[in-house]
Every structure is written in C-alpha cells, then in structure tokens.
Structure 1
Amino acid sequence: MTSRPLRIASINVNGIRAAARKGMGAWLEEAAPDIVTLQEVRGELEHLEEAMPGWRVIADASLQKGRAGVAIASREECAISRVELGDDGLESSGRWIEADFEVGGETLTVVSAYVFTGEAETPAKQDPKWAFLDAMEHRMTELAADGALALVTGDLNVGHRPLDIRNWKGNVKKAGFLARERAYFDRILTPAGEPVAGQEGIGRGMVGELSDTRSYSAGATGLGWVDVGRAAHGEVDGPYTWWSMRGKAFDTDTGWRIDYHLASPALAPRASNYRVDRAPSYDTRWSDHAPVVAEYAIG
C-alpha cells in the first residue's frame, strides 16, 4: 500500500452528504490518509462513493434509514471485509465493520465502530448499548489473539476517565460516563493478563455505583489494548474530539474525547504521530466531531 507508515484517520461525519458539502474533501486532500474509517454515515454506499471519488469504500448501512452507518475507505482495496459482531440477536446494523489489509507481508485488521449513545435509566435505549459493548469486548479478545495486528477506531460514545470530559462532574449519572460503561474500557485497556484495578469513586461525595468502576470488573483480567490517544498525550485534559453544536461548547473547548484509536498489544508499539484535527473555528467545522489521525508502521 505504501512504503511509509500507514496514516489512518477516523471520523464521525454526522452525515456523509452534509460533510461533503461543508468541506470534508478539502480535509481529505490536506490530511492525505491511506485509510479512513467513518461513522454516522447516514447514507448508502452510493453517497459515500459520490463524496469520496477515487476511494475504495466498503460500508454497512443501518437498517433504520437515515441513522448510524459505518464505512472504511482506502486508497487500495482491502483483502477481506466482514460485519462480524455478536449473534443474530444483537442490534448492530450500521455500527461495526472490519477490513483486513495486506501490507508488506503483514495483515492489519481495521475496524470502524459506532457505539450506541444510550440513555441512563432508559432501558430501551441503554440495554442495546450494554449488549453492543459486551459483544465488542468479546470480539476484541478474538481480534488480538496470537499477536494479531488490529485497530479498533470510531465513535465509541464513552469517556473513559475524567480527563476525557471537560464537564465530567455534571455527567457522572449520564450515558457516556456511567461507571459501568467506563468499566469496559478499564478491562480493554488494562495490560493483558493483569488484574483490572478499575477506578475508585471520583470527586467528593461521588462514591459507590455512581462513579466507582471496580465492582464491574471484579476478578477480571485485562485485554492489553492501548488507547493510542492517551498514550500519545499522557495525563492531560483531552484532547477532545466532540463538541456540541449548541452554545459556546466549541469556542470554550467544552468537549468530550469519545473518538478513539484502540490498538491491539502487538500493534500499539508501532503507532506514532497521533493527532486530533480540530477545526480552526466554529464556522469551518464540517462535523460536530474532529478527525482522529495516527500512523502505524506496517510491513
């Protein structure tokens, strides 16, 4: 595919047709990724091909027209593509797609994932999110087996730690920052085979199930995946990847870091040059999310 490290970008486009109208094409030309994973496409394959001429695109549209939708676009055709998550009872259409790329004699599996937003204390909306996260955790165990090179990207709709949400104190009871949701990431990101310590209650008076993730991982061991963004930036706030379109959230950088590159244990040491392509101003945004970009030495 290329003699230099693979540049892979992930972006929730908030509707591919709208993103194309607002300037996604100019960003693609400037950023020059080799592979792009897209979420919340809200369209069909033909709309992706119109928005990304010259790219080879695979996609899984949601069964609900105008909702969700994931895709992977590349400069060269992938070897194999799959929509493989959970059993037939899992509600996952338009939310998970995998592609294998052969590069220099090595195989890299790239995933575009779009996790449900969910809604606390609303089972009809939150239960599908629990089921999806269960299936995702199981599939990530399979993807990383035997030292495989795998990368799960996308809008995962969970802020893992207080560093990932500017207004975390106001969101401890809300979907996206619930203790049980964050516990999935504790398990996925703990070094392989090590006991999962979890996160203690955060903030004065915020204890127990409100903010303590430890009870959800009792006796569990880590999967060893690496959050490439957190590894690159260390213990700092953000950098955020999503800001509400309402009010001054973007201007004041009151955001959430919910778009990820999660690298399998074998792939993580090969990652470099992670960045969030935050728009220079509110009026130049072409999505409410920012692209997340990193490079990987393959082959």
Structure 2
Amino acid sequence: MTLADELSNPDRTRDALTAAHLYYMQDLTMDAIAHELHTSRSSVSRLLSHARASGLVDIQIRSPLDAPSRLEKEILSRYKVTAHVVPVPDHASDVDRLERVALSVARILGQYFDSNMTMGVAWGSTMSAISRHVIPKQTHNSQIVQLNGAGNMRTTGIAYASEILRRFGDAFGAHVQQFPVPAFFDDPATKLALWRERNVSRLIDIQAHMDVALFGLGSPFSEVPSHVYAGGYLEEADYASLSESRVVGDVATVFFRADGSTDDIPLNLRGTGPDFTVLRRTPRRICVVSGSSKLESLRGALNAELITDLYVDEGTARALIASAS
C-alpha cells in the first residue's frame, strides 16, 4: 500500500494510532481498548497490525546478551561503524538471507529519512528487495535521487531502475530524480562531455548534497548475482580488466580493491556512479549486505570508509569478525 493509499483513509489511520497509543503507551489490554473504542477485540488486533505495517509503530528489540548484539559491539569497536546484525539461520539460502536482511532495513528506513532531506539510492538486487517492503512515512519537500546510470547494450535500464526508485518515492511521498544515462560509457571522453551539460550537472550537484545514501555491495563472487554482473553490463574484456585490477566489488558501479582503493581501475573512468569522495561527504551512508560470499567486498568497502551504518546477516557478521581476528 502506497503513502497515497494511507492518506486516503485518515479515519483508519486515526483509529490505528489511538489503539496503538492505548496498547503500547498505556498498557491497556485489547479487551479494554475494544470497550473504549466501542468495537470488537478482533478489530483492535487488526488496527494494531495496521499500525505496525504502516509505520505508525516501530518495534525494536535490544538485548545485551544475544549474539547479534555482541557482534554489533565488535564491529563498532573494530571498524567504527554502527552495525545492525540480522539473525538468520546458518542453513538459510542466500536468497532467503537477502530477503530477511532487506525486510529488516525496509521496516526502519524511515528513521533515517524525513522531510527536507535527499536520499541517494543505488539500483541492484539488494535495493530491489528493500524497495518491495518499505514502510510508508509521510514527508514533504524530500527527494530520492538515483546514484548511477542503468543503461547497457541490451536495454536503457530506465524501467528497472525507475521501478525501484518509484517504490521509495511512493513510500515517502518524495520527488524522484532519475539519472537517465548508461551505467558505463564506451569512451571516457563522452562521459566528461556529458557531465558538463547543465541537466546532468544539476543531478550530480544533488548527489553531492545528499543527507542519506542507501546502497548494497556488488560482488563477482556472490551466490545471488549482483545485477551489474548478471544484467549484461560487462563484457568479457571488462571482466579481464577487473581481474587484472584485483577488484573485489563495487558500490553503485564504482569498483574498488580489497584495500578500498579505486585509482587506476579503467572501468571507473567510464562508469557513472558517484566518486567515493562524494559518498564520504554524505552524513549517513547505509550499506546493506547479505551472504558471506560478499565478505571480500564488505571488507573493501569498510577499508574505503564508505559506511556509517551496516545492515548485515549474522553469519556474514561472524565471518567479518573472524577474518579480522
């Protein structure tokens, strides 16, 4: 349900808010709430469910004793990054692991984004999964900006990227700024020329003043293929070039090595993602990772100091700490 759908039914939203306040803030039972609101207990249950699903109520569990909390403290200590470790069974597939982590991010993303803010969003498998579950939150004068182009030799990429951005825009009532350029130019000189055009430089300026950046990590080793590696964006010569440059992953199609460096990687000269200096200036940089196959990419992104907030499954968090030890 979109934000517009929620706003079109203000009576239900008001009743859900009242029921939530009575239940969570005043500790009334559902029977007592039903009596006060002159309705049934089952109706109260549905109102509370609606309050959680629509973002009126945000439930968080904090325990200093569980394994995720210990891992979060270790990651903060080692990497100076605020980690949010999502419990996922070790036997879970990478597809299920991604879905669980994405759902956890989607449910609390509204804590990071509000009115008069700009959020940059990269496209890809992880962002697509998050976008399907974002909890609606009303904002005003806010915008979502696409971080990198999505076109390739087979498609413009507009339909794929715009659908992801549209879901975020609908959830927050935000204006969407698309970036209708290829993911990679054939010639670096073409990119430099286009970057001087006023309509393109306007978008690049918006990216330079983001309040929040939301991105996953691309990895050539992931069991859930990153879209840039599986969507026809790279040719055989590109893979050879990345291997020669010892690339371990990418953020918004900007490639990096294990030490976080990006210099002298030829494909970056043709890519359309934001320079890492731009990302580092963004106050809140939320990275979402699932699957230990992305461990090398995660360590590279940490070495590049791209992350302020990390959402990661428990198994990958354990592997990160073990590799650091």
The two structures have a TM-score, normalised by structure 2, of 0.31
Normalized per residue, the structure richer in strand is: 1
Normalized per residue, the structure richer in helix is: 2
The two structures have a TM-score, normalised by structure 1, of 0.33
Query: Larger Cα Rg: Structure 1 or Structure 2?
Result: 2
